[in-house]
Amino acid sequence: MIQVQVQEQLFDPGALLHGVHGANPAIGATVCFTGYMRDFNQDQQVQGLFLEHFPGMTEKSLRAIAEQACQRWPLQAVHILHRVGQLTPSEPIVFVGTASAHRGDAFAACEFIMDYLKTRAPFWKKEFTATGSYWVDGRSSDQQAAERWNTDKERP
């Protein structure tokens, strides 16, 4: 079961993780990642963040990433939730939950999804600081993390 959400509203990571398991007796492990907005980036204090996206395209892209994870690992559930709009420090931005019979598959799939979200999902971040605002460029470290998942059959 794949669930994808893009929303402006805050969310409760604990409630989402509970839903990933869903009392399914075939699930032996759930793994979740929750990303929060930091108050710093590139040696600057960040006061706020605006996440832009293309409705429809974004959800399709997130679903494709989840489907790729399901093709690589035997997963019973994947839940991806990503916020958009205006955010402030300490607010959750992203939730990824994976469920499988075994912990190794759940951990690997969760990490794969996050690496691909950071490099392939159509989101654009604008940070606000005391000296102004700017659009955030992708990081080479994120690209390197995602490249480790490439196989001979699949290249970005």
Question: Confidence class of residue 143 from pLDDT cuts 50, 70 and 90?
Answer: confident
Top pLDDT among 41 and 19 is at 19
Mean pLDDT of 84-101: 96
Domain 2-147 in CATH 3.90.1170.40? The answer is: yes
pLDDT at 153: 44
pLDDT tops 50 at residue 23 = yes
pLDDT at 148: 80
Per-residue pLDDT of 126-135, as tens digits, reads 989 888 888 8
CA pair distance 36, 81, nearest whole angstrom: 13
Q: Which of these, 26, 21, 155, lies nearest to 79 by C-alpha position?
A: 21
Find the range with the poorest average confidence among 73-82, 103-112, 127-136. Answer: 127-136
Position 91, amino acid: E
Q: Residue 124 region, left (φ>0) first, then alpha (ψ -120 to 50), else beta?
A: beta
Top pLDDT among 88 and 120 is at 88
**What is the domain partition of the chain in residue ranges?**
2-147
Position 66, amino acid: A
pLDDT tops 80 at residue 144 = no
Q: Which of these, 19, 32, 17, lies nearest to 96 by C-alpha position?
A: 32
pLDDT at 109: 97
pLDDT at 120: 83
Q: Are 5 and 82 in contact (CB under 8 A)?
A: yes
Q: Are 80 and 62 in contact (CB under 8 A)?
A: yes
Q: Which two tokens stand for residue 147?
A: 């490249």
